[in-house]
Structure 1
């Protein structure tokens, strides 16, 4: 009989096991569709976006210095360097896998391959906790449907786990879902046992035995989640809110709250130990320790208040009121007496708020807003039908939950509401909500299937299970209506998302070919910055800055491109996607406009831009950057973001009326910016900036900007697309001095040719006061070994002319680099 029972369990579980495996394979397959666009050559792998490149940086550093983490990186944010921004677990775990597979000496190809596939595997694994959450909340059918819905989910959950998108985002999703899974298991198990402080005090630990493993596993999962993302305080907050809500519900229903306080303490204590053992946590370790400690104290206090109120016979409604009053009191007292505690509270509730330039960060923008305009389009893009269905399901589920105080279902409601709250503020949390949407859609899908008769089949399964039969007779009872309803309901829910997922999986993100070529050119044709790329740099003493070698220099570009410059180009960017080195203002136009990328590219003259470049470096005798990299996106669509970081966006653009309708057009203030002078005008007339590299061109809005300049400002520049990416070098410049009649207009010019066989004129003009002086950045004698191996060249000497007089001057590369004076 026991053997027959065992056979039944195996046969009963097999369909669900197969279903989860199929869901895993679907999720995996979707994410590997564009692999050809990732593995673009035998020597180069295109990782997606920006941050995945820095994860590659961390992994490479760990593998080369195993088991040491890159706690400080001098190879970015020049001339300051930066402490490790990411939480360490994701990169350390990935690097360890690679190190083990490679027997302590993995090849670069192995590093690239494992890093590229790692997010795909993590995303596919999410179907497992999704299944168990659905199973423990509802039944195995709902669990299986949830796993399947997760596997076909589109939007950010898909895009942030595609092959090559090696980022911690998908680890956040997996670990937070696993935490939720174990918490649901824990509270559902704990409710059937009389867990209390009094019982534990008297040595009755048996009541905790069945749920303790789940609480511990939830704590380990929360700890791992915290060590994988420095913003994981978010999920600690969700658990804290849930424990508070459940305390209130239990008290209002006359139930003990001890189990909830004890369970919450176990979870937070385990996570606290894990965080305390970690040396650094992206600058947020202290914040996490304080928050977890706050929970350890708050949870038992809430239970003690409940016990005392019950003992004194207080009205049950006093309890939630007392918690609210206590919270307000803590905030007020902290503001007066404990500023650090007050800052902790404020930081928690304002964690997702962005202002100023921060709103230009794509993943930090509100979900239902595009350009400040409300839209539901992102809801469909991220979740397809699951998004709308999940809201309906949440309302129905919440209504049903009010009829019965079910701890695990209360958690699903709190979890979902908190994710929605975060997602509406920052769209990045859409990849979290995909799990909630799948689970809730599965819940509603099963309800609809039960209306079509599947509940009776389920009852038959339970009945036959008791009599130990097989599924043969069960399948005999399946009617066409059952099959049709299954196809219609599951298909209607899943197909839109699957179709969108297939469509979204066709492309790859990350650097395009122009940026790959430009950064590789930097790597191979500019001087060594004096640092070993794989060095494990010492963390500077508190209050001191990193001491760079004399030959080190920065590369100025917009922050979006900082990681590409560092990891592909092996050069040191001034600004990076950690929003370091941007400069500008934070809250008010009255603030000082701090030197950085935003102030450099929006500067209204060469002199102003150079002053910014000089101010970036704390040493007044050194410049903050030697090279400036621009691209056509910075010159067009991204320029507004650069201006936004300075909180001064007026007069750069106007609305032009064209035959094709209204169109945004650049104004005079825009054309005066350093970005326009460099990218649109090729650095023409600039004294200390010369183009040294130009990529091939692409069809862009560059022609529109040039057309507007010619029409509105009397220009005559060719209306053509030029290099997508351009690299300029900041040099001292050679000074050419001579004499000429006073009040004469003196013109200096030469012809410059790029590797794209494009020629343009470089010129300067001035009015003589009896003498003239030009500072010029281009030489005619070619590169010097050890310096920039430029490929943009002056193809003829400088011609200086006035009236009927003309003279040609050849300038050496040495004169340009050392600032020599040439008298004529």
Structure 2
């Protein structure tokens, strides 16, 4: 009997110990599952970032982070002080956002993985996965914060919410997005953990001024340690992202409200003020290590960070002192808020007078971050665009599902609790309320800041869940699980469904997965994949910087340590690559060449002016004056050609040799991005649009139908821009720019029009890249396409002096003379014709400067370019103009047969060195045989329906272009217009 009793008692004891262990540790397996799920979601698309054995990244900043990380690997732990490999011809300090703590951590990880000597591939691999690691590690500070605010169950619920969110917090933390954004969120969360902990310790230990005076370190030890750790965490956040000084500004707002509430409600403000003074006093010396500027800036550690940290610390001390003065003078407490407000206003006025530059900088950044709008140029950057208040609801649902509504409910509940709690309110809850208000403003003003707002959404959902558990008195211990009631279960299930159903299951983007899982699997390298071909070509087929036209020069080293300077003195043979600023980091890192403009938004105004100018002479002047335009580039459009010549005449010898030698243009610059390009300089986008008669192609049940209509679209002014003349017209009629490479991949650019019920037509997309969305629109019978063009995705041009063809024709008056040459594109993928027409003088003498050689003998070893575009023969020079003749689509002989009275003809060979050195080439002109058979065609003549894959078609599907020509829909200006929409956008070629 006794033995049976002992057995039962032992079993009961064992059962209880298992329950006790489960109650102590149940969060560990739950967290483990959530962490594993989050990491899997964030690395699903990893294989998409490997192309041809090369590891790619998403976006452009990731590539510059790779550059910084590789430098740090080579020079650990130091980061790059100055980089002349971008923003030609000045160079740049990359600022505190690059070469930051994020880059140092990734570089250290690469050194560990590579056992002290990692290869470039190892470094790229570590950076590839780094965002997913940081995005997953975010679980731990948020779990701690959730536990602090809502207990373990509430914290687990918050982590679950984090795991299923599909918005920016996921987007910035997926594999391949090698930017510092997710590291910002991680270190901000760490800083919040430490500040919240310091506030809690201060409320428990109650440090006051008298303890400091008495040097009672025993009483001050715990709050001091906690506050110092908070300061260290804040400093680490600033080391990751110096503009995060805005967080100290938010802390300043919190301390202002909290200390005011403390005093008005009868509590000593010393406790919270102690945290503010000690933590921010700790930040200041830690800034010294990463200081990048002794002026007032925001993008690097500068006097701005010192000023704000010291100001907030001093403000905390002042408010605590003022409270004591109020008590000593027996002043009514309700006057305290007014005095504080007056003090803040007076301080702002004093700063505006004493430090106007600093005040203006802070004011501008407050407006830029909190004002619910964006500047005209800011709207050209996708991630910093404001969220329209009309679309705010749908935007928030796309980011958070319905969790943003439950978070908003939790925010109001918490704020009401603070308002009604009297002197028993919790400062840490007030911190979350104040922080959330500012983060909402930030995330609506700049979309990217939603990776910050997600922190508040997670914590408020955790807090709300904890409050519901408390109100329902739901059993949270293992021993009381049997006591749970039906209504409690139903309520909790309803809350879970409200939060999760929009993000998981049938209401999510895929019924088979969460919205997060689908979003994580939809990422990829994007445009960097097709730019990789062009930048790879650039690296292999152009001279290294320092050797252009200077083969014996010393090449500039990619990862050399360069001394910081305001205007780098480039060596002879260094050169710039002109493109839009989006692509600068790809040119630097993938191409190992020096862009004029970059994603630091350095150099966009000269780039905008160059791309928009409609005159080659001015384009040349802009590039020649560029080394002297840095301080004046904001007004570059206002400078006349004579003023540019004056700038050039005053250049130093070093400035005069700093040339831009290449221009790279892609399909986006020529379509979707052209409007943002116009916002920096020159005319507005509307000046490039006009109404003209255009031919629209509609898909019908019987096939295709065409309809003429007056529609808005790109006009002649656009066609004459340098961007269009190079990208769409392969430098026709230009003297100093030759196509040297184009990608094998093609793209279609077109406009769409829709028929209204009344039979009229209206444009619904103008000059846009052909995407899946536009393809879906074209399936509708009331939507048609017009102004269709097919071009290589990226084209690279070289700027050369050009060879001058000179000669004389028999003419009693001035007449036209045309020089033309047939060219094969990259890997002979297409054939096109370059031509240029000029007028002779009254004696019949002519000169025409051309950029293409007829023989390729030079390459990078000679200090020049190994062009992938080659001439198929020599230049044909003849009297007459090509106006109205489609020179890009037909051969030399056919062109001559279409000319009226061509008169005289000559041929010229142009050596490659002639186009680099500006040599003259004499052309001997002769009379054309009178018996030239106009029906005779050259061997390379093709039918007008020749397709890009060399498949000749004769199905009669030619279309009539805007100018009335019927040759494959091609118009006289060399553009493809209205190509048949038979499922293939055909690029007309002359093989």
- Normalised to the residue count of structure 2, the TM-score between the two structures is 0.75
Is 2:284 the partner of 1:272? yes
Q: Does 1:494 align with 2:509?
A: no
Bigger shift: residues 183-192 or 661-670 = 661-670
Deviations 1:682-740 (A, max 9, x none): 111111000000113444325779x999xxxxxxx995411010000000000011112
Q: CA deviation at 1:123?
A: 0.8
Which residue number in structure 2 is paired with residue 555 of structure 1? 577
Give the structure 1 partner of residue 911 of structure 2.
Answer: 812
Aligned counterpart, 1:503: 518
2:475 aligned residue: 457
Alpha-carbon distance in structure 2 between the residues aligned to 1:84 and 1:820: 41
* 2:829 alignment counterpart: 757
Kindly state the Cα deviation for residue 484 of structure 1 after the two structures are TM-superposed: 5.5
SS at match of 1:701: strand
2:108 maps to which residue?
96
Whether the aligned pair in 1 keeps the contact of 2:737 and 2:851 (CA below 8 Å) is yes
CA shift for structure 1 position 642 = 0.7
Post-superposition offset of 1:286: 1.5
Distance 1:655 1:17, change over 3 A: farther
Counterpart residue number, 1:793: 870
Deviation at 1:9, TM superposition (A): 6.5
Residue correspondences, number: 783
Matched, 1:60 2:64: no
Tell whether the 8 Å contact from 2:96 to 2:301 is kept in structure 1 after alignment: no
Contact 2:544 2:556 in 1 (8 A): no
Q: Return closer, same or farther for 1:424/1:490 CA change in 2, 3 Å cut-off.
A: same
The counterpart of 1:364, out of the listed 371, 384, 387, is 384
SS at match of 1:732: coil
Distance in 2 between residues matched to 1:383 and 1:729, nearest whole Å: 48
Q: Distance in 1 between matches of 2:24 and 2:680?
A: 56
Distance 2:486 2:387 in 1: 42
2:819 is equivalent to residue 748 of structure 1 = yes
1:500-579 residue pairs with structure 2 within 5 A?
500-505=515-520, 506-530=522-546, 531-541=555-565, 545-579=567-601
Q: How does 1:154-169 map to 2 (within 5 A)?
A: 154-169=166-181
Are the aligned partners of 2:877 and 2:907 in contact in 1 as well (CA < 8 Å)? yes
In structure 2, the CA distance between the partners of 1:8 and 1:318, relative to structure 1 (3 Å rule), is farther
Deviation at 1:341, TM superposition (A): 5.2
Distance 2:250 2:18 in 1: 41
Question: 1:317 corresponds to which residue?
Answer: 334
Larger mean Cα displacement after TM superposition, 573-582 or 142-151: 142-151
User: 1:237 offset after TM fit, Å?
Assistant: 0.9
Residue pair 2:63, 2:586 contacting (<8 A) in 1 also: yes
What SS does the corresponding residue of 2:806 show, helix, strand or coil? strand
The structural deviation recorded for 1:478 is 4.7
> Which residues of 2 match residues 162-181 of structure 1 at below 5 A?
162-181=174-193
Contact 1:20 1:144 in 2 (8 A): yes
Where in structure 2 are there 5+ consecutive unaligned residues? 1-12, 294-298, 505-513, 547-554, 629-650, 699-708, 754-764, 768-785, 880-901, 924-991
Cα gap change, 1:211 to 1:491, in 2 (>3 Å): farther
Q: Distance in 2 between matches of 1:545 and 1:512?
A: 29
Q: Is the 8 A contact 2:93 2:564 kept in 1?
A: no
Report the secondary structure of 1:166's partner residue: coil
Q: Residue 211 of structure 1 aligns to a residue in which SS?
A: helix
1:674 equivalent to 2:690? Answer: no
Equivalence map 1:713-732=2 (5 Å):
719-732=788-801
Residue by residue over 1:59-81, the C-alpha shift from the partner in whole angstroms, topping out at 9 and shown as x without a partner, is: 11111222331110111111111
Return the match for 1:637 from 672, 683, 704. 672
Question: d(CA) in 1 for partners of 2:94 and 2:766?
Answer: 45
Q: How many angstroms apart in 1 are the aligned matches of 2:593 and 2:580?
A: 14
Q: 1:244 to 1:388 in 2, by over 3 A?
A: same
**Matches of 1:806 and 1:77 in 2, distance apart?**
46
SS of 1:185's equivalent? Answer: helix
Name the SS for the 1:737 alignment partner.
strand
Residue aligned with 2:450, SS: helix
Superposition deviation, residue 474 in structure 1: 3.2
Q: CA deviation at 1:482?
A: 5.5
Q: Which of 287, 296, 317 lines up with 1:300 in the alignment?
A: 317
Superposition map of 1:589-608 within 5 A: 596-608=606-618
Cα contact 1:398–1:413 (8 A) shared by 2:
yes
Distance in structure 2 (CA, Å) of the matches to 1:599 and 1:123: 40
1:555-580 CA-to-partner distances (Å, cap 9, x unmatched) read 11001011111111111111100001
Q: Does 1:474 align with 2:494?
A: no
Deviations for 1:132-159, whole angstroms, at most 9, x for unmatched residues?
1111112221111111111222111111
- The DSSP-based 3-state class of the residue aligned with 2:798 is strand
Contact 2:747 2:793 (8 Å CA) reproduced: no
For residues 72-107 of structure 1, the C-alpha deviation after alignment (integer angstroms, 9 at most, x for no partner) is 011111111101223421111211221233232112
Structure 1 partner of 2:973: none
Provide the rounded CA distance (Å) in 1 between the counterparts of 2:500 and 2:710. 40
CA contact (8 A) 1:64 1:534 kept: no
TM-score with structure 1 length normalisation?
A: 0.90
Deviation at 1:387, TM superposition (A): 2.1
1:687 aligns with 2:758: no
Distance in 2, matches of 1:147 and 1:216, equals 28
In the alignment, structure 1 residue 429 sits paired with structure 2 residue 449 = yes
The 8 Å contact of residues 615 and 624 in structure 1, kept in 2 or not, is answered as: no
Aligned pairs for 1:345-424 within 5 A? 345-347=362-364, 349-352=366-369, 354-368=374-388, 374-404=391-421, 405-424=425-444
What CA distance in whole angstroms lies between the structure 2 residues aligned with 1:759 and 1:702?
Answer: 22
Q: What is aligned with 2:688? A: 652
Change (3 A) 1:680 1:183: same
* Counterparts of 1:323 and 1:303, CA distance in 2: 11
2:354 and 2:570 map into 1 onto residues whose CA distance is 42
Query: How far is 1:659 from its partner?
Result: 8.4
Matched residue SS, 1:752: strand
Contact map agreement 1:70 1:536 (CA 8 A) in 2:
no
Contact 1:783–1:790 (8 Å) recurs in 2: no
1:70 is paired with a residue whose SS is coil
Contact 1:602–1:643 (CA under 8 A) maintained in structure 2: yes
- Equivalent residue for 1:199, pick from 202, 211, 215: 211
Structure 2 matches for 1:235-274, cutoff 5 A? 235-274=247-286
Q: By how many angstroms is 1:647 displaced? A: 6.5
Please tell me whether the aligned partners of residues 614 and 721 of structure 2 are also in contact (alpha carbons under 8 angstroms). yes
What displacement does 1:365 show?
1.0
Aligned to 2:95, the other structure's residue is in SS state: coil
* Aligned pair partner of 1:733 in 796, 799, 802: 802
Aligned residue in 1 for 2:9: none
Contact 2:806–2:922 (CA under 8 A) maintained in structure 1: yes
Structure-2 separation of matches of 1:121 and 1:163: 9
Q: Could you give the per-residue CA deviations for residues 497-550 of structure 1, whole angstroms, max 9, x where no partner exists? A: 353222222221443432111110101111111344443332235xx5222221
- Give the whole-Å Cα distance in 1 for the aligned partners of 2:50 and 2:440: 36
| Aligned mates of 2:868, 2:564 — CA distance in 1 | 38
The 1:17/1:208 distance shift into structure 2, 3 A limit, reads farther
* Map of 2:920 onto structure 1: 821
1:773 aligns with 2:847: yes
How much has 1:475 moved relative to structure 2?
Answer: 3.8
Match of 1:221 in 2: 233
- Cα distance between partner residues in 2 of 1:708 and 1:204: 73
Deviation of the 1:442 alpha carbon: 2.7
